[in-house]
């Protein structure tokens, strides 16, 4: 029965972050529920290992409006 409730319960989503140096070069990735501490982390759509030690493409950054729709938002429509 717990399994059925888990299907409909709100889950805390994990998001992807990239750490950039002062030149905009991707240094590392992080996958966590809360935003990492520090000003050098930016939210990205997904980690891509080809971005390491390269400038982060502008299309990789998540805009504040482009977040995925949650199940709760779908049910409220």
d(CA 26, CA 42): 10
Stated pTM of the model: 0.67
pLDDT of residue 66: 45
Cα first-last separation, the chain: 27
Could you tell me the mean pLDDT of each successive run of 10 residues in the chain, 77 residues long?
70 87 94 91 94 93 65 61
């Amino acid at each position: 029965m717990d399994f059925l409730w888990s299907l409909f319960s709100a889950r805390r989503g994990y998001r992807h972050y990239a750490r950039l140096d002062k030149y905009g070069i991707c240094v590392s990735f992080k996958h966590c529920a809360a935003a990492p501490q520090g000003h050098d982390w930016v939210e990205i759509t997904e980690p891509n290992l080809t971005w390491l030690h390269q400038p982060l493409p502008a299309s990789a950054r998540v805009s504040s409006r482009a977040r995925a729709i949650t199940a709760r938002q779908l049910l409220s429509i």
